[in-house]
Structure 1
Amino acid sequence: MDLLGPIVEIILFFWAPISRHIGYFKDLNNNVETLKRKTEKLKRKHDDIQAEVDNAIPVGKRQKALVENWFTEVRNTENEVDSIRLELERRRICTYHWSRYTLGKRVVEKLEDIKKLNKKLKVKGVFHEVAESSRHPRVLEKQTSLPRGQQSTSERTLEEIWQCLNEERSGIIGICGMGGIGKTTLMKEINNRCTKTRDFDVVIWITVSKDLNLGLIQEEIGNRLGMKFDGNEDKGDKLFTRLKNLRYLLILDDLWESFSLVKVGIPKPDKQNRCKIAITTRSIEVCNKMGADKQIRVKTLTCEEARNLFYERCGDVVLSSEIRPVAEKVVEQCSGLPLAIKTVGQAMYGKDKKELWEHALWALKRSLPDEVPGMEPEVFLPLKFSYDCLENEESKLCFLYCSLFPEDYVINIDKLVRYWAMEEGFIENVNNLEEASNKVYKILERIKDACLLEQGWNYRYVKMHDLLRDLAIWITSPSSSSSSKGLKFLAKAGEGLVQPPEEKLWREMGRISLMRNKIEHLRITPDCPNLVSLFLNDNNQLRTIHSGFFEFMPNLQILDLSNTCIESLPASLSLLTNLRALILSGCRHLVEVSQLGKLEELQLLDLSGSGLKSLPQGIASLVKLRWLDLSFMRDLIPNIPWDMIFGLPSLEDLRMTGLKHVDGATFSKAATMTRLTSLRIQLSNLNGFIADDMFHRWFSGLRRFHVCVDYQESDASRGDPYRDIIISGCDNFPCGIEGLIKYATTLWLINCKGLTSLSQILGDSKNLIILDVLQFSGVECIIDWREVGDDAFQCLERLYLRGLPNLEKVFDGVASQPNTRLQNVRTIQLNDCHKLRCLFSSNMVEYLHQLQELFVWDCSEMEEIIEGDMLPHNSFPRLCFLSLGGLSKLVSICGQRLTFKSLEEMRVSSCPKLKKLPLFSSSILEIKGKIQGEREWWEGLEWEDENAKSLCSRIYEVSSS
């Protein structure tokens, strides 16, 4: 009996695992049913959480890493359960003991895994919020135009890249090919495709270019992630800490040399983090050194694709039976390169003579460039032909001139006017600077049409593709057979130089650009008999220039030393008797400019933002000076010799913003400048302003002006004006100010007093396009139609009224000729007008047939937007956006039911008494309609039409506020 107890314990000890293993075999059928039931329940939980994530992401959030890990485990478990099911079906739950045992064991293990996954959901706080805030969009879309066609080379390559991004084994992907073949375009398509998936937490696009700058790469990645770096911290460590918690796609566009990911702070992609890096490069060696797991060669277009693209660019001229055979040989010379095909095709657009096509074919076959690293013959040959086809020498030189700016530089066209147009003498061949500017715009448009330049941020900027810049540098290099006297350039912009090039390299050059380098001293005396333009600007460490530096530059016409640290100019500057443009803007350490009077040919002088405390001696001798910028010379002493400045006989463009001690009396004296066409001036006050007949004749003749009264502008606001007036802090408007305002196209009135109605100063404003009234405390009415001219406000497009606490009416009275009033208004915005009870009278509505956007916010007493119930038929026919907010007393938009036929979007916030919506066009709402507002407001709306309620419900969104 004494042994019975231990024996029982031994039996029980071994029985637990034995019974468990027997259960694998015996309970298989029951466990399979349990597994099926619990798997389906787990999937429902997964779908519910996924729905929460999907709802959070569109409002600027991103999925938490813990949630993503849980999703991954659930998917893996589901895959394994599916595998078990297939095995069971295949074996049909056979009686073969060992197979039944192993399957039973796998089923029990999966049941335990599901139990653990469910347990994770119950951990406090982990799944309370499935997404977290993300201030920056996951993907920034890129503008692109990929040649389409399901079986096209581009589409196949695109799909190959996309497939690699979804493969575990491909962490770093290299996209290789010659310049201009379409690598960047393909990656822009990939970038945009990521907006439609949730594969990555963030997509980061970095354009690297030739001059590899790891610090700049770190800054750009940091900016994309919303990070800020302190001066002493390790950027790499900080980036690594942030990126290791993100599933990122990093696109490195135009990489020319390899670099260490660890040094920059980029976690290497692997199967665990599932991150990806995509590189576009012209070098396979770069791909190898970067450790690319997959290399994709971007191929040239097939003959048929190339022919189709070429014919699309050439137009119908290729339909001619005489030209077509030659055209086919021309397109063959483009070697299937998209950029070459486009540029050559554009060059031949409309050429309907066979001889021109035969000449083109001859030129393409024989104009082989000299040796260029890599595959340049296939690229430079057709691109140079496009350059050769530019219609005149002016266009060619303008194209080449753009290569003097750094790579990836967005070129301000007005700089080209000041540099190249002045150098070329356009100023002498036209009546004024504005006509010269127009001519440059026309020439640039021709070059853009030939696909040799791209538009920059807007029409005032252009950008040069890096391949085309390489072409221009090759054309202008001394070793090129294409280069001739005057066309030899030394373009070393943005190359990180700390020393200037050797003197022997300067001698043959016609143009030299050393801008954006790190040169500190110019201790050389180069012999440059042919030098016409010299750019030393943005060398922000440049402090000293040798006294004889300019001694042997007899033909120099353009000199840019802006944004350098020079304190004075060398004496040899006075020898530049042919100098036409001297740019010293941003030279804040500059305290002395001597012997300026000897520069008798000078036509442009830019001293803006310099440290000069007085105007240079001899400025009165510059009788050919046409452009003078004195803006933001904050140290300039009060006793400015205005009579001397206003007496410059040839002056056409004068800029004086950011200066102290300029009053209305000084402004009145400016009327003596009879040749002036453009003026930018900032006045401290309007004291002494007199607008006599001579002033009106002079002011009305200005093509451009920007007049600012008592308003502090920053250096960043220095754009070229059109016809702008800003008046700030004015309590009493001087007599004659209305005669000044009537010529303006844009008027800002800020923090002013002294008027109850603006009709007194706006009575003849027939040119006004934008009117912005801000914090005008005394004004009760904007326009009394009885006090203004018949054609006033016929050009007005945008009206902004903000912070007008005593405003009771926007418009008063009846217009004598209403058909011309407000006929072009497209945008109206009201904010903080707390006495205003309604915005429009019913008879005003018919004159607003162009209104497209209406914003009314924080007008606490407003009860109706439109007063009255007798509205014209088809009111507001073009209104597409309506925003109402902070209108606590707003009861209705109008007394009668309105139908907005073009309304696409309506936003409502804090309008608790607004119970009815206007009627919408169902066709527009179904396509692109949107209604936003608080949930409580939406649920309290009153509906007269169930169909309207049903339609609006489909496009309603809860506002994020």
Structure 2
Amino acid sequence: MTIKYITSKSPLFMVKAGLNLDELPSEQEWKENLDKVSLMKNRVREIPSSMSPNCQILSTLFLQDNPLLESIPESFFFHMHGLKILNLSRTGIESLPNSISELTNLTALLLQNCGSLKHVPSLARLRALVKLELGYTAINEVPAGMEMLANLTSLDLLCSELHMIPAGIFSKLCRLQKLRVYWGLETLKVAVEEAATLKKLDRLLAQFHNLQDFNCYAKSLNSQGGPNEYRLFFIPLEIKFTPYADQYEWNQLFDWTLPYELNKAVILRGVNICGREKEDIIFLPKEVEKLLIRDCHDVRNLSSIPTFNTLEKLETLEVQDLSNLSGILLNVSSESSPVGQYSHLKVVRIYGCHKVMKLISSKLMSELKNLEQIRVYDCGEIEELIAVDDDVDDNEERSPKEFLLPKLKKLSLQWMPKLKSICSCNGLVMVCDSLQVISLWVCPKLKKILSSSSKLQLGVLKNLEEINVGGCGEMEEIIAVDDVDCKEELMISLPKLRKLTLGFMPELKSIINVCGSTNGVLMVCDSLQEITIWDCPQLKRFPIYLPIDEKGEPSPPPALNKIDVTREWWEALEWDNPNAQTLLLPFCKFD
């Protein structure tokens, strides 16, 4: 009886989420003391036209993710004046009832991804609103009364049907901290200038179609600072973005709720960058940390991009499908490239640039102290990654010249039919002793990945966690260690190696080949968990060291849990230790 009394007087929750409901609970189930209602992720098709729940203290209503819901009757909100949070995101509604305008206690109105929504009634009386989300709706004009929402701290207007944003709105929204906005072609320049003066703005995502608007905001960032995090897109009107973009990373850039590694990004896609008059050049904010350039076919080299050489803190450079980009991607321009321009660079990604011949000029290697990741995909003309400059003499008798990449963690190369070497000049060594992941797929001309002296090689291997190599038809050895004079079996430690995957390499003869060692190599891999080897018929020996247990007997590597190979290959292997094959057999998964 006590429980019945308490529940009849205390605020109640009604939660019927994800139950595939095709209609709302009956009006009798909407009790007067309901405080929060969640009906999200259902298949509700309609709300009865006369339905008007008497829920005066209801504060939260979740109806999001009901894609079949197309309309809400005028009467539905008549008795919900206490409502503070209303979420209708990802529903099929085409318009909101005018009764929304009377919900004066609303602090959050969430309508994101309502792709059919074309009409939002006046918001003038909703002065308590703190968060308003209209992103990816079909509205073509800013809702009436939005300039009255002086308490807004978060606003999403990333709506591709918006024709313009009038002046006089952002000057009134002085508390904004988060803003996503689509600047239509008819937007007045003064509206962009107003947005640039928002003092409390901490996070901005803006899509521009007009060069004048883009430059207006970029110049304001250079002159007076701006948000701690921004992503500025300059994209032609004909390129439409949806929340279900075909490439995950581009979709991720448009969504500030997802984790992302950099705070300040500029994305240029499908625009004419270089072929502009001097007074009409593109301005890039000096503190850009991430620059993505895609489908800009007039770009022949990076130095030709106006204001590219003014970037002071560039950390990630990504270029995609630049059909005329040629020569060396990262090169020195004697005229305009400042010393240390790439000193902050951490990530280089290049996709689908079929005229690029080499990735990095050797003259820049001293600047790349912070480079952590190199990824090259589908660049059909690249023959080597490091372009050795003319002043380096291959025949000069001297100690090996070291190219230091001390922080490089990931090297990923895919679909590169002409790649023959990382660096082709004899006597030159790429030292990257932080390397954690080597991933190479379909590089049919590459015969080995790394080659160095034994002293340097120990550093290269000590942090390796993954080796993934496949589809390299001429690969003979993964790592070659030179200048070793050793008459006994040599043990090389890979203390952090967890995963080894090798596949479809008919010429592969060894994983690590040590020149000068007459008795081969043993790999000490105490962290190794997974081994996968397919279609490597010339690999006759798997040189894994078996640790000795407390009884003095050999034992499997302590972390090993799976060996994925073919039975035929496994049974044909040659073993130095006659017990090895039997000890490792329980871990084998034969296909």
**TM-score, normalization by structure 2:** 0.68
Equivalent pair of 1:753/1:779 in contact (CA under 8 Å): no
* C-alpha distance in structure 1 between counterparts of 2:329 and 2:499, whole Å: 33
Read off the aligned partner of 1:747 and give its amino acid letter.
L
| Pairwise CA distance, 1:772 | 1.6
1:875 equivalent in alignment to 2:431: yes
1:532-551 equivalence runs, <5 A? 532-551=59-78
1:558-957 pair list within 5 angstroms: 558-631=85-158, 633-636=159-162, 638=163, 640-650=164-174, 651-656=176-181, 661=185, 669=193, 670-684=195-209, 686=211, 689-691=214-216, 695-697=220-222, 700-710=225-235, 712-716=240-244, 717=251, 718-720=254-256, 722-733=263-274, 740-759=284-303, 761-776=307-322, 777-785=324-332, 787-812=336-361, 814-815=363-364, 818=366, 821-840=367-386, 846-871=403-428, 875-887=431-443, 889-890=445-446, 893=449, 897=453, 899=457, 900-902=460-462, 903=464, 904-905=466-467, 907-912=469-474, 917-919=479-481, 922-924=492-494, 928=498, 930=500, 932-934=502-504, 936-939=506-509, 944=515, 945-948=517-520, 953-954=541-542
State the Cα deviation string for residues 79-101 of structure 1 (Å, max 9, x = none). xxxxxxxxxxxxxxxxxxxxxxx
The whole-number CA distance in structure 1 between the counterparts of 2:417 and 2:187 is 39
Aligned CA distance change for structure 1 residues 708 and 688 (closer, same or farther; 3 Å): closer
Q: Which residue of 2 aligns with 1:350?
A: none
**Residue 516 of structure 1 aligns to which amino acid in structure 2?**
K
For residues 98-147 of structure 1, give each alpha carbon's deviation from its aligned partner in whole angstroms, at most 9, with x where no partner exists.
Answer: xxxxxxxxxxxxxxxxxxxxxxxxxxxxxxxxxxxxxxxxxxxxxxxxxx
Give the aligned residue type for 1:703. Answer: N
Q: Is the 8 A contact 2:12 2:36 kept in 1?
A: yes
CA 1:870 to 1:630, structure 2 compared with 1: closer, same or farther past 3 Å? same
Partner Cα separation in structure 2 for residue 546 and residue 947 of structure 1: 83
Percent identity of the aligned residues?
A: 24
**In structure 1, C-alpha distance between the alignment counterparts of 2:185 and 2:401, rounded to whole Å:** 45
Of residues 18, 22, 26, the one that matches 1:494 is 18
Distance in 2 (CA, whole Å) between partners of 1:505 and 1:807 is 65
Query: Structure 1 residues 519 and 688 mapped into 2: Cα distance closer, same or farther (>3 Å)?
Result: closer
SS in structure 2 at match of 1:807: strand
**Partners of 1:794 and 1:484 in 2: CA distance:** 65
Distance 1:925 1:753, change over 3 A: same
1:549–1:806: structure 2 CA closer, same or farther, 3 Å change rule?
closer
Match of 1:521 among 47, 56, 64: 47
Following TM superposition, by how much is the alpha carbon of 1:914 offset from its aligned partner in structure 2, in angstroms? 5.3
Deviation at 1:940, TM superposition (A): 9.6
Report the CA distance shift for 1:567/1:827 in structure 2 as closer, same or farther (over 3 A): closer
Distance 1:770 1:737 in 2: 22
Q: Distance in 1 between matches of 2:428 and 2:191?
A: 48
Q: For residues 890 and 595 of structure 1, what CA distance do their matches in structure 2 show?
A: 64
TM-superposed CA distance for 1:937, in Å, is 0.8
Contact kept in structure 2, 1:724 and 1:744, CA below 8 Å: yes
The Cα RMSD (Å) is 4.2
Deviations 1:498-550 (A, max 9, x none): 23343574322222223334262153333333222222333344444443433
- Tell me, in whole angstroms, the C-alpha distance in 2 between the residues paired with 1:753 and 1:667: 31
- Relative distance call for 1:510 and 1:789 in structure 2 (3 A) is farther
Structure 1 residue ranges without an equivalent (≥5) = 1-368, 372-477
Q: Matches of 1:916 and 1:581 in 2, distance apart?
A: 57
Q: Could you give the per-residue CA deviations for residues 820-851 of structure 1, whole angstroms, max 9, x where no partner exists? A: x3333222122343443432268995431222
CA distance in 2, matches of 1:565, 1:926: 51
CA distance in 2, matches of 1:897, 1:516: 60
Which whole-Å CA distance do the structure 2 matches of 1:933 and 1:806 have between them?
29
1:756 and 1:781 in contact (8 A); partners too: no
For residue 485 of structure 2, what is the aligned residue in structure 1? none
Query: In 2, are the aligned partners of 1:930 and 1:955 still within 8 Å (CA)?
Result: no
Q: C-alpha distance in 1, partners of 2:91/2:448?
A: 61
1:512 to 10, 13, 37: 37
User: What's the offset of the Cα at 1:773?
Assistant: 1.3
Whether the 8 Å CA contact 2:71–2:93 is kept in 1: the answer is yes
Mark the CA change 1:832 to 1:505 in structure 2 (over 3 Å): closer, same or farther.
Answer: closer
Q: Relative to structure 2, which stretch is displaced further, 886-895 or 599-608? A: 886-895
Structure-2 change in CA distance of 1:699 and 1:756 (3 Å): farther
Give secondary structure in 2 for the equivalent of 1:690. helix
1:690-743 C-alpha deviation (Å, 9 max, x unpaired): 358861257842122222232543313242174332212233246797863543
How far has the Cα of 1:596 moved from its partner? 2.0
1:627 Cα deviation from its structure 2 partner: 2.1
What is the deviation of 1:569?
A: 2.9
- Residues 680 and 705 in structure 1, CA contact (< 8 A), matched pair in contact too: yes
* Equivalent residues of 1:663, 1:684 under 8 A apart: no
Q: Whole-Å Cα distance in 2 between the matches of residues 664 and 686 of structure 1? A: 13
Matches of 1:813 and 1:881, distance apart in 2: 22
Letter matched to residue 719 of structure 1: D
Q: Distance in 2 between matches of 1:858 and 1:513?
A: 48
My pick for the range that moved more, 757-766 or 949-958, is 949-958
Letter paired with 2:375: Q
Amino acid at match of 2:14: L
Q: 1:622 to 1:501 in 2, by over 3 A?
A: same
- 2-structure distance, mates of 1:806, 1:541: 48
Distance 1:757 1:613, change over 3 A: closer
- d(CA) in 2 for partners of 1:789, 1:751: 27
Q: What letter is aligned with 1:494? A: G
SS at match of 1:800: strand
Work out which structure has the larger RCO, using CA pairs closer than 8 Å and 6 or more positions apart in sequence.
2
Alignment partner of 2:81 out of 550, 554, 560:
554
1:861 Cα offset (Å):
4.3
Q: Distance in 2 between matches of 1:645 and 1:928?
A: 56
Residues 910, 895 of structure 1: alpha-carbon distance in 2 compared, 3 angstrom cutoff: closer
- The Cα of 1:938 is off from its aligned counterpart by 2.0
Structure 2 Cα separation of the partners of residues 488 and 653 of structure 1: 33
Question: Aligned pair in 2 of structure 1 residues 688, 925: CA closer, same or farther (>3 Å)?
Answer: closer
CA contact (8 A) 2:492 2:521 kept: no
Measure, in 1, the Cα distance between the counterparts of 2:475 and 2:116: 62
Aligned residues: 476
SS at match of 1:839: strand
Bigger radius of gyration among the two: 1
Give the Cα separation in 2 of the matches to 1:681 and 1:926.
Answer: 43
Shift of 1:689: 4.2
In structure 2, what is the Cα distance between the partners aligned to 1:684 and 1:653?
A: 21
The Cα shift of 1:558 comes to 1.4
